[in-house]
Amino acid sequence: MQRQLVIEGYAPRRHPFRRHVRRAVAQQRKLRDDSDVKLFALSFTAFFVCFFTFIA
């Protein structure tokens, strides 16, 4: 017996329990996350401190 593939969003009927459960929707951050820039600056500075320490 073969069953058709049904995409979840287009399913006409769902399980009764799943009809009553609210769908989880991820919230998007509105604040700008600059942790990558801070990590780059810290790594860049640490490299030059170590580099010039070994030269001196």
Tens digit of each residue's pLDDT (9 = 90 or more) over 28-39: 777 777 788 999
Per residue in 1-41, pLDDT (tens digit) is 676 766 666 656 777 887 788 888 888 777 777 788 999 99
CA distance 7 to 20: 19
CA distance 21 to 13: 14
Q: Using a cut of 0.85, tell me whether the model's pTM lies above it.
A: no
